[in-house]
Structure formats: structure tokens, C-alpha cells
Amino acid sequence: MTSKRQLLVSIALAVATLAFLGAVLWWEQAHPPATWSALPSGKPERGAALFKDKGCVRCHAIKGAGGTSAPELGSDRDSRRTPSQLVVSLWNHAPRMFERMRAEEITYPKLDEHEVADLFAYLYTARCIDETGDAVRGKRLFDLKGCDRCHTDQAKQSRDAPPPLDALRASASPIAWARAMWNHPSLPNEKEPPQLEGRDMNDIMAYARKGQSIGLDWLLVAADTDRGWKLYHEKACVGCHALKGEAGRVGPDLGPGRDLPPTIVQLAGSMWNHSLAMSRAMSAKGVKRPKLEDREMADLIAFLYSIRSAEPGGSATLGEVVFEGRGCSSCHGSNAQGTSTAPSLRGKNNRYSSISLGTVLWQHGPEMNKRVVEKGLKWPDLSEGDVGDLLAFLNSAPAGRS
Ligand code: HEC
Ligand code: HEC
Ligand code: HEC
Ligand code: HEC
């Protein structure tokens, strides 16, 4: 008797779990998360045009194209990975940048919030692009990992033969390479693919490129995170990969709670490493491995990376300490209530974000800097951890006023 009851209980539990999963999926479909739209609201393609039109390109280069009198903005340095990191580096460098603009008599660029969002999206995209790898090490790895056994130097013998080494060159840019790794056929006899680590894949791709350096990947610049979000659902990724730590999925969580490889080519390496396990999980679930086009891969990757750059949360109380400690209060008042020299900043209907803080800098920075100099103060530098708290403070109403 007991065993029958146990069976009924476990069936009931299984049904409840399925219903719950179904509800979670439905909820995710119906409610694209709002905070994720902080960065995606900008369009990298428009940002690329603004970068030229607003004259940034006169001083800054991206991937080597542009001026050389200011830091290159397209290198994969850690310091500009998220909008808050970007706004901090912009904020801290602003006085010297303003000085350079004055010295070179460059018209100061006027930017509104949409334009800053576009520029940030573009700079962010430029940063995700990989540095060119080491082609000599890449050749060694190509042989060591067995790629050379199929991708030989000779031209194809038959129609089904793998493309020769030379032909791989056509796919040797970050997004196309990731697409190729996703679509890559399994090795014969379900052999586990030889694992690639760290920058191995960058070096292999550099070999396929014959060492030619990587420029900006326009597939990524044209990517659309909203389309990526849709594809994530349409291509069944969401059935196996949670985004918000829900249990019950067979693949690793791909949401913001977990680090992805830092660049696209390294993500391609991770797809190669996991391809057999992923194929097996797909056969077990009766899912056919979806083939992806370049553009689809670009949209998916843009989506996956953009959800890692949501606004940091923060505490208004800590933000008040930051506001005091960084010296903002010496002009704006200890409660940011405003003084005779600087405007009031706080209110519960404020919607400051990293993007609007960046906009403030372009719109009010030079005037602010002028006051800093007049008062004999030091420019208030920010550190990355400050941003979330500072935003929470500025967006909260001062005590006694609601
Ligand atoms: C007249 C030259 C000039 C122009 C025009 C210019 N910048 Fe700069 N920018 C600089 C200089 C110089 C620095 C570095 C200042 C320093 O050394 O602290 C800088 C720093 C930066 C930084 C921080 C760099 C880092 O290493 O993290 C960012 C981001 C930036 N600029 C973005 C822009 C954008 C966006 C535009 C166009 C709207 C622009 N700049 C226009 C000269 C310029
Ligand atoms: C067992 C044979 C085999 C091995 C080993 C192999 N490949 Fe492939 N690869 C193929 C075949 C077959 C295709 C063509 C698939 C198609 O056309 O759909 C391919 C396609 C590719 C492509 C896409 C080419 C294009 O232009 O679309 C790239 C890039 C690639 N392989 C890289 C690699 C790398 C890097 C390795 C080693 C880490 C490797 N392959 C190991 C058989 C192999
Ligand atoms: C049937 C289930 C299933 C589906 C559908 C699926 N995956 Fe996976 N995926 C897995 C499993 C399982 C792994 C882990 C394999 C392992 O442990 O080696 C994985 C691994 C990955 C990884 C490597 C993660 C890491 O740790 O770096 C990426 C990236 C990935 N999947 C992306 C996707 C994308 C994008 C889609 C949709 C186009 C997708 N997957 C669809 C099951 C799935
Ligand atoms: C030396 C005085 C001074 C200091 C220090 C200072 N500010 Fe300002 N700030 C100003 C002035 C003056 C303006 C208005 C500039 C204008 O009218 O263009 C301003 C404008 C602003 C604005 C835009 C207000 C609006 O109307 O949109 C914000 C936001 C802001 N500051 C934040 C800060 C933060 C955060 C700090 C500390 C990291 C800081 N300020 C430090 C003088 C200062």
C-alpha cells in the first residue's frame, strides 16, 4: 500500500515540478527583465557613427583606426567591461580630456542621453573584440589538437571532405568563428573533443588568419540584443540554460550570476570544448541541434554579454558616504540639496543610471571642472564600486521631503 502511495506522491510532485517549470518559462517569455535594458537600449551601429561625427575619432582609435593622441578605446582591457566601469574611466579622465579639447580647439561635443547610450554600446562592443593571438603557437596547437588531421593544407579531394586550412580563413573573425564552432560536426565515434584553454582558440584563429590582426567585427556592431533575447527562446537555449539561477536545467546557467569567457573567441573555444556533452544532452531531450547563421550568433552573443552589464545595485546610505568622501558635497551640499555654487541633485523621481551620469559629464563636466579649478579643489575621482551606491543616493528623496 505504502509503495502505491509513494508512487502517487512522486507523480504528483513531478507534475507540480513540470507545472512550475512551465510557469517559469511562460513568465520569462512574458517579462523580459527591465534592468537588462540599461546597455541594450543603445545601438552600437549608431554609436559608431557618433564616434566619427562627434569627433571622438580625432583623438581616439578603435582597433587602430583613428587618432593616437588619446587612449585606444577598443582593447580588451578589463577596466571598461560594464557601463559603470566605462563611466568611471570617463569621469576620472575627463579633466585632462577637456584640457586636450581646449588645447586643440576642438568644438566640445554636445551629447544627449540617447547618444551616450549609443556610444557606450559601441565602446562596449569594441571592447569585446579579441586581441590577435599568436599565430606560431596557433600552428602548434592546430597540429597538437588534431585539427590538422581533417583541415589539411591540400585542396578538397571530395565534396564531403572537410574544408582545407586555407578555407577556414573565411570564417576567421570572432563571430563567424563562434558560429563555425557551434555548427562544427562532431568528431568520429563520439570522440571527446581535445580541450582548449585560455587563449588557445585565439592563437588557433590567428594561425588561420596567417597572423593578420583582427579589426572591429561589424557583425557584432550590427547585432541586436532584443533579437538575441528572442533567439535564446526560439532556439531552445532557455530550455537547458537558466538565466536567473532556476534549478532543473541540464546545461550550465548562462545568466549574469556566472562568468562567461571574457571574449568572443574564447567563448567559441568553450563551445568547442562542450560540444559533445551539449550534443548528448540534445539527443537525450530529443532536440535537434539548431544550425546558427552569423547574424544569429552575433545577436545571441550580444544578448548574453549585455545581460552581464546591468546596473549595479547600491545603498543610498553608503552613497551618502561616497558623496561626502569624494568631495561632491563640497559644492552640492552634504545632502546634495544644492548650494550657491552648484545645483541640487536629489529627488525620488530621479532616474540616474551609468548612462545618464555619462551624459551629465558631457553636458556639465567642463563647467564643473571650471569650479573645481576656481575653488582650488581636486577633481573628484570615482572608483568602480562607488557607482551603484552613488546612483541609489541621487535617486532617493532627501529626508523630510517625499
Ligand atoms: C581632443 C581630443 C579628445 C577628443 C575629441 C575626445 N577625447 Fe576622450 N580622451 C582624451 C584624452 C587625452 C583622454 C585621456 C585623459 C587622461 O590621460 O586622463 C581621454 C579619455 C577618454 C576615456 C577614458 C579612457 C580610458 O583609458 O579608460 C574615454 C572612455 C573617452 N575619452 C571617450 C571619448 C568619447 C566617447 C569622445 C567623443 C564624444 C571623446 N573621448 C573625445 C582626448 C579626447
Ligand atoms: C574529424 C574531422 C575534423 C576535425 C578533427 C576538425 N574539424 Fe573543423 N570541420 C570539419 C568539417 C567536416 C567541417 C565542415 C562542416 C560543414 O561544412 O558544415 C569543419 C568546419 C570547420 C570550420 C568552419 C569552416 C567554414 O568556413 O565554415 C572551422 C573554423 C573549423 N572546422 C575549425 C576547426 C578547428 C579549429 C579544429 C581543431 C580544434 C577542427 N576544426 C577540427 C572536420 C573537422
Ligand atoms: C538540450 C540541452 C541544451 C540546449 C538546447 C542548449 N545547450 Fe548549451 N549546453 C548544454 C550542456 C549540457 C552544456 C554543458 C556541457 C558540458 O558540461 O560540457 C552546454 C554548454 C554550453 C556553453 C558553454 C558554457 C560554458 O561554461 O562556457 C554555451 C556557451 C552554450 N551551451 C550555449 C548554448 C546556446 C547559445 C544555446 C542555444 C542556441 C544552447 N547552448 C542550447 C545543453 C544545452
Ligand atoms: C567644484 C564644485 C563641484 C564638485 C566638486 C562637484 N560638482 Fe557636480 N556640478 C557642479 C556645478 C557647478 C554643476 C552645474 C554645471 C552646469 O551648470 O553646467 C554640477 C552639475 C552636476 C550634475 C548635473 C545636475 C543636473 O542638473 O543634471 C550632477 C549629476 C553632478 N554635478 C554630480 C556630481 C558628483 C557625483 C560629484 C562628485 C563625484 C560632483 N558633482 C562634484 C559643481 C561641482
- CB of 59 closer than 6 angstroms to any ligand 1 atom: yes
State which ligand 1 atom lies nearest to the alpha carbon of 69. 12
Q: Cβ neighbours of residue 33 under 8 Å, at least 6 residues apart?
A: 307
Residue 177 maps to a domain: yes
**Ligand 1 pocket test, candidate residues 53, 58, 59, most atoms within 8 A of CB:** 59
Query: Which residue owns the Cα nearest ligand 1 atom 10?
Result: 97
- CB of 99 closer than 6 angstroms to any ligand 1 atom: no
Q: Is the pLDDT of residue 36 over 60?
A: no
Q: Which amino acid is at 190?
A: E
Label residue 300 by pLDDT band (50, 70, 90): very high
User: What CA–CA distances, in Å, run from 337 to 252, 343, 392?
Assistant: 47, 8, 15
- CB of 172 closer than 6 angstroms to any ligand 2 atom: no
Q: Which of 233, 229, 329, 342 is nearest to 290 (CA)?
A: 233
Residue 82 maps to a domain: no
CA of 91 to the centre of ligand 1 (A): 10
Give CA angle at 94 (88, 96), nearest 5°.
135
CA of 96 to the centre of ligand 1 (A): 8
Q: Among the bound ligands, name the one nearest to the CA of residue 179.
A: 2
The 8-class DSSP code of residue 292 comes to -
Q: Is the pLDDT of residue 31 over 50?
A: no
pLDDT tens-place string over residues 99-119: 999 998 888 888 999 999 899
User: pLDDT at position 7, please?
Assistant: 61
Residue 12 maps to a domain: no
pLDDT tens-place string over residues 311-334: 777 899 999 999 999 999 999 999
Label residue 134 by pLDDT band (50, 70, 90): very high
- CB of 167 closer than 6 angstroms to any ligand 2 atom: yes
Q: What letters, b where the CB count within 10 A reaches 16 and e where it falls short, cover 225-259?
A: bebbbbbbeebbbbbbbbbeeeeebeeeebbbeee
Q: Which of 121, 78, 34, 132 is nearest to 384 (CA)?
A: 78
Q: Which domain holds residue 260?
A: 135-219+226-308
- CB of 92 closer than 6 angstroms to any ligand 4 atom: no
- CB of 266 closer than 6 angstroms to any ligand 2 atom: no
- CB of 236 closer than 6 angstroms to any ligand 2 atom: no
**pLDDT over 70 percentage in the chain:** 85
State which ligand 1 atom lies nearest to the alpha carbon of 55. 5
Q: In terms of pLDDT, which residue wins out, 221 or 99? A: 99
Residue 269 maps to a domain: yes
- Rounded Cα distance, 283 and 274, in Å: 14
CA atoms within 13 Å, Cβ hemisphere of 243: 22
- CB of 391 closer than 6 angstroms to any ligand 4 atom: no
Q: How many domains does the chain have?
A: 1
Report yes or no on whether pTM surpasses 0.85.
Answer: no
State which ligand 2 atom lies nearest to the alpha carbon of 149. 5
User: What CA–CA distances, in Å, run from 177 to 5, 115, 267, 292?
Assistant: 54, 31, 10, 12
Mean pLDDT computed over 2-7: 60
Residue 355 maps to a domain: no
Q: Among the bound ligands, name the one nearest to the CA of residue 336.
A: 4
Q: Among the bound ligands, name the one nearest to the CA of residue 62.
A: 1
State which ligand 2 atom lies nearest to the alpha carbon of 170. 26
Q: Is the pLDDT of residue 43 over 90?
A: no
Label residue 273 by pLDDT band (50, 70, 90): very high
Residue 107 maps to a domain: no
Label residue 37 by pLDDT band (50, 70, 90): very low
Q: What letters, b where the CB count within 10 A reaches 16 and e where it falls short, cover 25-52?
A: eeebeeeeeeebbbbbbbbbbbbbebbe
Coil, strand, or helix at residue 62?
Answer: strand
Query: Which residue owns the Cα nearest ligand 2 atom 6?
Result: 147
User: What CA–CA distances, in Å, run from 43 to 5, 296, 351?
Assistant: 57, 17, 20
Determine the distance from the C-alpha atom of residue 225 to the mean position of all C-alpha atoms in its chain, rounded to a whole number: 10
Find out whether 40 and 120 touch, Cβ atoms under 8 Å: no
The highest-confidence range among 6-10, 45-49, 68-72, 192-196, by mean pLDDT, is: 192-196
- CB of 168 closer than 6 angstroms to any ligand 2 atom: yes
Q: Which amino acid is at 253?
A: D
- Rounded Cα distance, 305 and 291, in Å: 21
Residue 382 maps to a domain: no
Q: Among the bound ligands, name the one nearest to the CA of residue 345.
A: 4
Residue 66 maps to a domain: no
- CB of 290 closer than 6 angstroms to any ligand 3 atom: yes
- CB of 322 closer than 6 angstroms to any ligand 4 atom: no
Taken in order 237, 240, 245, 246, the sign of the CA dihedral is: positive
Find out whether 193 and 150 touch, Cβ atoms under 8 Å: no
Q: Is the pLDDT of residue 58 over 50?
A: yes
Per-residue three-class SS string for 77-120: CHHHCCHHHHHHHHHHHHHHHHHHHHHCCCCCCCCCHHHHHHHH
Strand partners, 62: 65
Q: Among the bound ligands, name the one nearest to the CA of residue 109.
A: 1
Q: In terms of pLDDT, which residue wins out, 366 or 125? A: 366
